[in-house]
Amino acid sequence: MTEEQMLAGCLRNDAASQDALYSRFSPRMLGVCYRFAKNREDAEDMLQEGFIKVFCQIQQFRNEGALEGWIRRIVVHTCINVLKKNKKFSDSVDIVQASGISVREENIPSIMQAKEVVECIRLLPLGYKTVLNLYAIEGYSHKEIGNMLDIEESTSRSQYTRAKAMLEDVLIKKRILLKPKDKAVTVKIAMANN
């Protein structure tokens, strides 16, 4: 079934078209949810809630961009709303825990290690993980993140900086990233979108 056929069927509430759309896009969207969730079950719940919104709002898709991008935005916003609703975004770590390592964005571990990097991101406190995902992976600005999470733009920036430092520390501890002699490690969170 082509994307146009799926879209037309979904507009008619055709179950086969909805199933085809879900089958095509849910694996990648589960990856998005997984980065925000504490565990797979939470990610699956976010995914289901996201696709309910997709099917309820499908008539708002205007073919002005990729269908996958439109679905992804809905899923990301659903993840954020779930976190805010459950007040899980308030998790944070003291700045003392995140200090001690300087970070310069220049390089990333090899693509072969991308899955390990994602797993390390999931180890971060939820607030840090959320801002890191939204800024570095989803491409939102700190202003947009502030609006989405009801925080100040400066808070988003500081959470991102702390998240990068903490992620770097985790990557070094798990021996995914080697600690150079000058203690200034370069990391760039520019992984391919899942």
The domains found in the chain, sorted by start residue, are 3-85 (1.10.1740.10), 95-186 (1.10.10.10)
Please, what is the average pLDDT of the chain?
79
Altogether, the residues listed in the chain come to a count of 194
pLDDT (average), residues 29-58: 92
Question: Is residue 35 predicted with pLDDT exceeding 60?
Answer: yes
pTM of the model: 0.70
d(CA 84, CA 81): 5
Say if residue 33 is exposed, middle or buried (CB neighbours under 10 Å; 0-12, 13-18, 19+): buried
pLDDT (average), residues 152-170: 90
d(CA 49, CA 41): 12
More reliable by pLDDT, 102 or 173: 173
DSSP 130-193: HHHIIIIIS---HHHHHHHHTS-HHHHHHHHHHHHHHHHHHHHHTTSSPPPTTSEEE----PPP
Question: Is residue 113 very low, low, confident or very high in pLDDT (cuts 50, 70, 90)?
Answer: low
Burial 70-99 (b: 16+ CB within 10 A, else e): bbbebbbebbbebbeeeebbeeeeeeeebe
Question: Is residue 26 very low, low, confident or very high in pLDDT (cuts 50, 70, 90)?
Answer: very high
pLDDT (average), residues 145-172: 89
d(CA 156, CA 48): 28
Question: Is residue 88 predicted with pLDDT exceeding 70?
Answer: no
Please list the helix, strand and coil fractions of the chain in percent, rounded to the nearest 5, in that order. 65, 5, 30
Per-residue model confidence (pLDDT) at position 173:
84
Per-residue model confidence (pLDDT) at position 184:
44
